[in-house]
Amino acid sequence: MDSSRATPTAASKKQFLEAAAKLPRSADRAIAMPLGGSTFRALMVGRRDDVLDHFEAPHPADHYLDAAHAIAAALLHFGSLPVAGAAFLAGMVPKRGRLRFTNLAGWPPFDRDVTMKHFGFATEWLNDGTAGYYGLPRMSGNDFAILRKGQYRTGDTYIYAIFGTGMNVGCPVTREDSHLLFVPRTDEDRAMQMWLKKFLGHLPDWEDITSGGMGMRNVAEYYLDTDKVSATDPYATALRDHPAQRRGEIVTAFALRGHPSAKKAAQMAFTSLGSWLGAMAVSHQALRIDLSPGILADPEMREFCLHETNFLAAFVEQGRPMFREFVEDCTVRICLRNPEHEGAVERAAELLHQHS
């Protein structure tokens, strides 16, 4: 049964749900669903914590009416029902109420008990930050680059910080720390904050300034205005002509070429990122922060961040007199591959073993 090329209909959804519900159940299988990006993914996990099979549907709203429809398609591909599931999604996972994807456009909000209702197994829903946190232990030392060497030791508290189109922090509980209001450090910060209040229609939070896509775009707009950059400037044209999620790449590419306004925007964004990470080190009492892969996975961009911005100074400054020594001991690394998929597999395997 294949709907990957068909226009989704209520009839096809009903057919898929009914067929999937009749599949045999395997006591040795769990399903992991790392639902980041614009692709629906499902992985069948075995008792050896290994991935036995996988299912992918790019741009799933073109082929499935909703999450239940896509999950049914994945189960039919696998040929059996699992005993547990773990899934992560980009966006907030509230304690109550319906869930919604911020990355898979076109699907309606859905019931968190969707897999129990239709297929008889519970799914634990995590945000992408928490999934990344669970995935870090499955990675090796070669999967990281050091941004700041501290005094982290095995057993100390660590967190996973997403620095992408959106931002959040991964730890054992879901946190949305990037949506706290931005705290200016300097007169330039305050001037930008007030400009962005008019531009955005609200006081900016940390994500509005420091995220790799949306945040850099906002900061870039501020400097384009204050630097009075011509609308025909190649940098301004590139920002206007590319989708929002790629504007961080545009800013950093032009910054590396030495474009004055782009360089200011990148410096402000990375310095603000340092402030935010320092605040996270204090609030989580973390002695290690692992950043998601993205712009800083590029060695040239890391050099720019470390040597041409105030990233490190802003990080330590968040310690203030009382917590300075604590923050100075914190290690900061960048992940060179995505731990979020690993985290969905790790959590699915843990849930499977709980059913032993």
The model's confidence at residue 2, banded by pLDDT at 50, 70 and 90, is: low
Number of domains in the chain: 2
86 located within any domain: yes
CATH, residue 88: 3.30.420.40
CATH, residue 219: 3.40.367.20
Residues with Cβ within 8 Å of residue 21, at least 6 apart in sequence: 118, 119, 120
pLDDT at 248: 84
Distance of CA 215 to the CA centre of its chain: 14
Domain holding 57, by residue range, is 10-135+340-354
The answer to whether residues 204 and 347 belong to one domain is: no
Select the more confidently predicted residue: 1 or 283: 283
Q: Quick: pLDDT tens for 28-39.
A: 999 999 876 678
d(CA 127, CA 169): 9
d(CA 221, CA 65): 37
Please give the share of the chain, as a percent, with pLDDT higher than 70: 93
3-state DSSP assignment of residue 233: coil
Helix residue ranges, H only, 127-229: 128-135, 187-200, 206-210, 214-226
The answer to whether residues 162 and 310 belong to one domain is: yes
Lookup: tokens for 170: 């991964």
pLDDT at 173: 67
1 located within any domain: no
Q: Quick: pLDDT tens for 208-260.
A: 998 877 889 999 999 999 999 999 999 999 998 887 767 888 999 999 999 99
Q: Which residues pair with 8 in a beta bridge?
A: none
Count of CA atoms in the C-beta half-sphere (13 A) of 239? 28
pLDDT at 319: 81
The answer to whether residues 299 and 177 belong to one domain is: yes
2 located within any domain: no
pLDDT at 267: 96
28 located within any domain: yes
